[in-house]
Chain A
Amino acid sequence: MTEPSERITVRLTVNDRAVTQVVEARCSLADFLREDLGLTGTHVGCEHGVCGACTVLVDGRTARSCLLFAAQLDGRTVTTIEGLTPAEDLSPLQESFRVCHAMQCGFCTPGMIVTVTELLAQEPMPSTETIREAISGNLCMCTGYVNIVRAVEQTVARRATGARA
């Protein structure tokens, strides 16, 4: 029988990189990404699954990285905001955020980008209402959301017309 342990070895893929690491059982995925791997684009806000700042993709689906333990991620694939950002310049979604002033302090932005990435993968042409509902789990205390919705709509519109950001 597997003996419960305080230290666990995990092998996972983070942003296309294979990682093998011994982690403390209680270490959250968010802390693992930030402190062990130096991927500080994943922000830690409320640490109980309410604010959405720490949202990442696990096997392509969004997850709150404060509500997963790194020990659970053995064999899984994690994509963070760093993995969604091109080596140079910005992705079309990020560029729309820049153009539309969809951020002020920027704390919620990585979680917003990750959440909208899943939304657009599932619904390439979302309505305004669908966009609003999708980002309702990501708290933004600065913008009032209007420009964030606008940025997502602009990304969708540019995709539809085939124009480059």
Chain B
Amino acid sequence: MKPAPFRYARASSLAEATALLAAAPGDTKLLAGGQSLVPMLNMRLVRPAVLVDVNGLRELTGITPLPDGGLRLGALTRHAELAASPAVRERAPLLAEAARHVGHAAIRNQGTLGGSVAHADPAAELPAALLALDARVHITGPRGAREVAADVFFRGLLTTALEPDDILTAIEIPAPPPGWGFVEIARRPGDFALAGVAVVVRRHPLTLPSLPRGGEGIGAVRVVGFGIGDRPLRLIGAERVLAGGRLDAEAAARAGAAAGADCDPPSDVHGSAEYRRHLATVLVERALLLAAARLAERP
């Protein structure tokens, strides 16, 4: 359980980290929080020749409120910071809630937002939260800087839009939606989720007097499942069921049923595909009811 030998360099600037990575991109790994990478190193599932420690890069830190009501989050933002930051709790409470579900306190103290997103574990909370929030991923590399929407960033199992010589620098989140819900089922607190759901509901821009009382008119809605596929997945069937209608218990139940029909979850020792599909159904319904309650609280 010891890593294979490697060489280590502590980058002192983003430019230096980029150059160190460009020197041998296929054989170099960035070391941030290390809470996923180091277990993989210890088990020798990965054997890079070089580790570039980016923990000292101030360019990758900071939680900055944006003028449009959104947030910019440096890639080195720790999960514990996300969970505790007043700015995140106010402007992206879904993300703060998701961060509280990541691992245990010792993991949350070290693990980083950028690391979780770049690692792209299909059962991870933060990638799912970012997909629900329509986040943008900021990336820099030898060919310059670019940004990629979360919708197209996650490509498959542990696979993203990042090239081997890219560095994920920050995440930007648009202004917060009034309705949101985050739920997951795990065997114990801190375990990887067997399945989880993040939903974001925006109110319909028009007042809809035709809608009966007891349900909010739905504008844009995002329903995202995790632990139920090879990446965080938008459950489009559920979103379609909800679009343009009102959010009440009956709509939430129909969306849950659509989500269950929509996904093709994996079976493993922790749970069968059938069980995970059942969880997707139930969790979509629960997350939507939480979102409806929050919408009702904020007229």
Contacts and interface: CB of A to CB of B under 8 A. Distances in A.
A binds B: yes
Interface of A: 1-6, 8, 24-26, 28, 31, 46-49, 52, 55, 58, 61-64, 66-69, 71-72, 74, 115, 118-119, 133-134, 136-137
Interface string B91-123: 000000000000111110110000000000000
B105 A67 contact: no
18 contacts: A1-B16, A2-B9, A3-B9, A4-B7, A4-B52, A5-B8, A48-B42, A48-B43, A49-B39, A62-B105, A62-B106, A69-B38, A71-B10, A119-B105, A137-B104, A137-B106, A137-B107, A137-B190
Nearest to B104: A137
B283 interface: no
A1 B16 CA distance: 7
Interface residues of B, number: 39
A134 B1 contact: no
Q: Give the dominant DSSP class at B's interface.
A: mixed
Given A4-B52, A26-B4, A47-B1, A68 B106 contact: no
Q: Give the dominant DSSP class at A's interface.
A: mixed
A6 B9 CA distance: 9
A118 B8 contact: no
Contact of B7 (A6, A48, A66): A6
B64 interface: no
Interface of B: 1-12, 16, 19-20, 31, 34-35, 38-39, 41-43, 50-53, 55, 80, 103-107, 109-110, 188-190
Contacts of A64: 35, 106-107, 110
Contacts of B51: 4, 25, 69
B3 A26 contact: yes
Contacts of B55: 72
A129 to B, nearest CB: 10
Query: Which of A8, A66, A137 neighbours the largest number of chain B CB atoms within 10 Å of its CB?
Result: A137
Given A2-B11, A48-B1, A136-B190, A26 B109 contact: no
A32 B270 CA distance: 35
A134 B42 contact: no
Nearest to B111: A67
